Structure 1
Amino acid sequence: MVRTSRRYFLGGTAAFGFASSAFAQSKPIRVLVGFAAGGGNDVIARLVAQKMAEGSSGQVLVDNKTGASGLIAADILAKAPPDGTTLMVAAQTTYAVAPQLYKSVAFDAPRDVAGISLLGASPLVLVVNPSFAAKSVGELIEMAKAKPGAINFGSGGVGTTPHMAAELFLFTTDIRMTHVAYRGEAPAIADVLAGQLPLLFANVSVVTGQVKAGTLRALAVTSPKRAPGLPDVPTLAEAGIKGADVETWFGLTAPAGTPREIVQRLNVDVRKALAVPDLQQRFAELSLSVTPSSPEELDALIKSEAVRWGEVIRRANIRAPE
């Protein structure tokens, strides 16, 4: 079932300070990412894994297993030995949304994964190709109302947070646009850059550089407050859209059944990595907040987010592709 697999070795050192641990392994530590290289999950995984790997022995492997909104990677995680050598960086797309869309998939996050820690959160930003006629959210809404369904918007796949943010925006503003799903956020962004697609909601962490360079035009961010990396871009609320706030959260998880000693040790290692000043600076540059948590807090978040996005799925009648 695995459609693509791209593997990257980060440095020559083992991940997560395992060298002195009883469960240290000679094989690489594998961190699964359910989306293509260059997307939000991938960016976070590489930043955190590289920082946690410094000063240890062995290797850390970031392994992209794309498909089914991250569920292919999640299934691999669920079936992996619970020994701390296979982990996954994922967001609400995979753990709170996709299981409700893909009914034939047996994966259930509260049952199949163990939270380690939240890593960070990123607002989304509504970006358009610079040649697109709408210069503001208000103008976009007017265009969409004039020609319902005529404007296309992209996402990294059905059920991804950019897709869900767009559906929430459409529902809130009572407009219709046509969804075009891609295999990952990066190829969708590439088509907006090339003018093949007019717009999409994207993770701020992924498109900040293009917005600052002028190759994408930002209309609004989805966070309650303006994004630090894009201080001149208004929020949706400032544009007059209430109730459409969305942020993508990213968490590090292990297979269910991983001993609590290992989970707690990993949590300590994550917190140390997130406290490193240059990592915090890099997060800030990408408009990512640093949000470490306890394992229990991440487990509770996964459950509560399933309820929230289940309502959006029902209201928008979102269906997974056959």
Structure 2
Amino acid sequence: MHAPRYLAAPALGLLMLAAAPAQAQTAYPARPIHLIVNGAPGSLPDLFARPIAEKMRTSLGQAVVIDNRPGAGGLLAMTNLKNGAADGYTLAVVTNAHAVWNQYLFSKLPYDPLADLQAVGPIAVIPMVLTASPALPAGSLKELVSLAKAKPGALNYASSSTGSPPHVLFEMFKLQTGADILHVPFKSGPDALNSTIGDRTQLYLAGSALIEPQVKDGRLKALAVNTRERLPSLPNVPTFAEQGYPGLEDTVWLGIVARTGVPADIVQKLNREIARAVQAEDMKKLFDAHGSVVYTSSPEEFAARIKADHALWGPVIRKANISLD
């Protein structure tokens, strides 16, 4: 028997209504996206975030609003992300400090990096260069380690602050080598840089963009780079791995995360848009100007990288007894 027509029409209408929410859910994004940045306007994370946001606005057809939340080692930015909805409309730019190191630097962290942050996609790797005052009688890592072991505690190294990438990376280098080299923290990268140029401190590990001019004009000498291959801008400077100290390759990175629980299809869409944005030719030139290298991967690969970094850096930070409390 066939259903009467007067019953079939309402039934069809109900089916269409039931399907409407499912169709609406696929229309992402339907409103502006907020991208939280742990840094003031003009900071390095902000310089990456703004052009990426503009490219995503064009491709997604929705505004991507930059929300600057500087301070407290990223705690303000990450807490704001954690308190947002898991709907893909609140994202954050992070470094490995926010996604990994903070868990070991703070005894009471208001967010759990592994439980509360969902990997969306990486953005860039920041090459780091170990430099020395020209007065230091060491022209290679081997000579530096030999000198440090011959004079325990006599050498020192500068960093932009306690818990900063230069500090944590240098502490790993010390653990690898057994060298006793004193840490001297400063309030900023330029302060640490000028101290080493003036030979008040002897060593400084920093982003390539910050120190390349001083290396090229002879105010500093470069001992090693932490990239997998030599930097085109510093072709005569060998890598850490080349000199027998692997494990520091590409260790400082930036990426974008969401709050855990964002639907997988939205995460995949955002990942594609981020990768498309950073691989544009003008973005590659911008990254190069800021001393960085474009870094892309799937959300799954990025999440695996974050997890592996926890296993690598947690023991280093604990053994070095680094704390930001």
Residue 254 (structure 1) shift? 1.6
Q: Work out the CA distance in 1 between the residues paired with 2:53 and 2:306.
A: 22
**Corresponding residue for residue 211 of structure 2:** 207
* Correspondence 1:24 to 2:27: no
The verdict on how the C-alpha distance between 1:156 and 1:85 changes in structure 2, with shifts beyond 3 A counting, is: farther
Q: Deviations over 1:220-249 (max 9, x none)?
A: 1122321233212111233x3333433222
* SS, match of residue 127 in structure 2: strand
**Per the alignment, do residues 170 and 43 of structure 1 end up closer, same or farther by CA in structure 2, a change over 3 Å counting?**
farther
Q: Does 2:261 match 1:257?
A: yes
What's the counterpart of residue 67 of structure 1? 72
CA distance in 1, matches of 2:115, 2:94: 16
Contact between 1:154 and 1:181, CA under 8 Å: does it hold in 2? yes
Q: 1:49 to 1:141 in 2, by over 3 A?
A: farther
Answer whether contact 1:34 1:67 (CA < 8 A) is retained.
no
Secondary structure of the residue aligned to 2:276 is: helix
Match status 1:108 vs 2:112: yes
- Give the one of 292, 295, 314 matched to 1:291: 295
Distance change in 2, residues 1:321/1:290 (3 Å): closer
Does the 8 Å CA contact 1:36/1:64 hold for their aligned counterparts?
no
What residue in structure 1 maps to residue 246 of structure 2? 243
Q: Which residue of 1 aligns with 2:121?
A: 117
- Quote the residue 1:320 is aligned against: 323
- Give the secondary structure class of the aligned counterpart of 1:114: strand
Corresponding position of 1:89? 93
Tell me the distance in 2 between the aligned counterparts of 1:191 and 1:80. 42
Whole-angstrom CA distance in 2 between matches of 1:211 and 1:38: 23
Displacement of 1:205 after TM fit? 4.4
Relative distance call for 1:226 and 1:307 in structure 2 (3 A) is same
Out of 149, 160, 164, the residue aligned to residue 145 of structure 1 is 149
Q: Deviation digits for residues 144-166 of structure 1, max 9, x if unmatched?
A: 22332232223344443322221
Q: Distance in 1 between matches of 2:134 and 2:76?
A: 35
- Over residues 21-44 of structure 1, what are the superposed CA-to-partner deviations in whole Å (9 max), with x where a residue is unaligned? 54323xx834312589655x4554
Larger-gyration structure (1/2) = 2
- Asked if the contact 1:125–1:203 (Cα under 8 Å) also holds between the matched residues in 2, the reply is yes
Name 1:99's counterpart in structure 2.
103
Could you say which structure has the higher helix fraction? Answer: 2
**Alpha carbons of structure 1 residues 172 and 253: separation in structure 2 relative to 1, 3 Å:** same
CA distance in structure 1 between the aligned counterparts of 2:200 and 2:93, rounded to whole angstroms? 30
Tell me the SS of whatever aligns to 1:65: coil
| TM-score normalised by structure 1 residue count | 0.77
* Partners of 1:198 and 1:52 in 2: CA distance: 43
> Which ranges of structure 2 fall in alignment gaps of 5 or more residues?
1-26
Task: List runs of 5+ in structure 1 lacking aligned partners.
Answer: 1-19
Indicate yes or no: 2:192 matched with 1:188.
yes
After superposition, the Cα gap between the structure-2 partners of 1:72 and 1:155, relative to the gap in structure 1 and judged at 3 Å, is farther
Q: Matches of 2:125 and 2:213 in 1, distance apart?
A: 18
How far is the alpha carbon of 1:306 from its aligned partner?
Answer: 0.4
Whether the 8 Å contact between 2:56 and 2:64 is mirrored in structure 1 is: no
Verify the 8 A CA contact 1:169 1:244 in the aligned structure 2.
no
Taking a change above 3 Å as real, the CA distance of residues 48 and 148 of structure 1, as seen in their structure-2 partners, is farther
Q: Which residue of 2 aligns with 1:3?
A: none
- Residue-by-residue CA offset, 1:136-192 (whole Å, 9 max, x unaligned): 333433432233223222334444332222112112222111223345545533544
1:233 to 233, 237, 240: 237
- Structure-2 separation of matches of 1:196 and 1:54: 49
The Cα of 1:118 is off from its aligned counterpart by: 1.2
Give the Å deviation of 1:126.
0.2
Task: Check if 1:178 corresponds to 2:190.
Answer: no
Contact 1:36–1:185 (CA under 8 A) maintained in structure 2: no
Whole-Å Cα distance in 2 between the matches of residues 159 and 268 of structure 1? 32
CA contact (8 A) 1:31 1:63 kept: yes
TM-score, normalised by the number of residues in structure 2: 0.77
Equivalence for 2:6: none
Following superposition, the deviation at residue 280 of structure 1 comes to 1.9
Shift of the 73–166 alpha-carbon distance from structure 1 to 2, 3 Å rule, reads same
